[in-house]
Chain A
């Protein structure tokens, strides 16, 4: 019976996630999309146009060789449901790609990526 209860709860979670509206697109980020910064950031923060479902939303940062340089997983703050952030390892000069895939609370998945460049060492 407990198993059936869990199944019902999962069903409710998956099917009942439509309490708000709209696809989530990237609104802005820090570092900014396509920007060049002198000093390495300690984290990447990405604000989206909609509230996110944290369990199904990811934010990763890779270097030019495709290696992960973040200290994931992405962090979600219930007080700012449109914000996803991930801390970074100490980064050297180079170009880094931020890859995101998010599930908005209306069950729509969107994904994307952008780069930023660091000119100075930590």
Chain B
């Protein structure tokens, strides 16, 4: 008899341990599936891989630095440690092609790690809120390819809100959603000493200042899959019915050290196609002012849902508590 109780208790305990895994999924809050956006960090914790993200844009010159074409190829791997706590590792490779026939430079940027905790999820209101702390490890990349020699710390709050709780009269807006973030970009060093030779051959020492930056952004999207599945089946054909058009706004406001008010940013209209195991996104990168640039760039990304590809191994949290 005792062994039967033991068996029942064991079965119940195992079932309880197994059930939490059933509820975990990438970017879901109730009916809402938030895709991974290309420019703005995602508000959710998940097992995912962005590889590659491709960016090509012309960057304006500043001071002695000439304008240059920048090609950036980056990758990002996110892993859930617990169901609501995840770690992201990111790296990039840059190719800088100056416009004045100076030597083309290429190399890896600094490695970046981000710990993210999804502390609020409302299925009814399709809402997710997360807190994150990023660390860009200074000196791990090549300086001539744009990598800084100092650490940068990035505390952030991220959110996602689907409009599925709008009243019936506004049902056509229910497929809309917004995600966004507010972030501090805090350099670990206020300035770098620079050494140059002047025309007389004398060594000149300068200070290149590193401002604290208030980084914010948001993405507004309209999910055709949501429209088809939850609002009205309007008969969209395959491929089209998996598209999510969106616009992402990405702004950097330097706060101090001589850079205050020198806002830079981009508006990024684009589209994401979401498949079963991965998504593909493409965006135009439009500078908001001349300080950011004058030419329109392009950003593309292939993003894999590891929790769908490897649901019983790589796609699960390390600890399912």
Contact = CB atoms under 8 A, between A and B. Distances in A.
Report whether chain A binds chain B: yes
Interface of A: 1, 3-4, 6-7, 10-11, 14-15, 18, 21-23, 25-29, 32-35, 49-50, 56, 103, 106-114
B8 A107 contact: no
A53 B21 CA distance: 15
A104 B196 CA distance: 63
Interface of B: 3-4, 6-8, 10-11, 14-15, 18-19, 21-25, 28, 30-31, 33, 123, 171, 225, 228-233, 276-277, 307-309, 311-312
Contact of A21 (B7, B171, B225, B311): B311
Nearest to B232: A34
Contacts of B28: 23, 110
Given A7-B14, A21-B277, A110-B28, A33 B228 contact: yes
Given A4-B7, A21-B276, A22-B276, A113 B309 contact: no
B230 A14 contact: no
Contact of B307 (A10, A28, A108): A108
Contact of A113 (B22, B25, B31, B276): B31
A6 to B, nearest CB: 7
Contacts of A50: 276
Given A18-B311, A33-B229, A34-B233, A111 B15 contact: no
A52 B21 CA distance: 16
A11 B11 CA distance: 7
A114 to B, nearest CB: 5
Which of the listed residues B6, B11, B24, B277 has the most CB atoms from chain A within 10 Å of its own CB?
B11
A111 to B, nearest CB: 7
Nearest to A1: B3
A3 B14 CA distance: 14
Contact of A11 (B4, B14, B25, B311): B14
A72 B225 CA distance: 27
Nearest to A95: B168
9 contacts: A1-B3, A11-B11, A21-B276, A21-B277, A23-B33, A29-B233, A33-B233, A103-B22, A113-B31
B311 A34 contact: no
B307 A114 contact: no
Given A3-B3, A33-B230, A49-B276, A15 B18 contact: yes
Contact of A23 (B8, B11, B15, B308): B308
B31 A111 contact: yes
Nearest to B229: A26
A50 B24 CA distance: 17
A33 B14 contact: no
A23 B25 contact: yes
Given A3-B3, A3-B4, A4-B7, A109 B22 contact: yes
Nearest to B31: A112
Given A3-B8, A4-B7, 20 more contacts: A3-B3, A3-B7, A7-B8, A10-B11, A11-B18, A14-B18, A14-B19, A15-B18, A21-B276, A25-B33, A26-B229, A32-B233, A35-B232, A49-B276, A106-B311, A108-B24, A108-B311, A109-B25, A112-B230, A114-B231
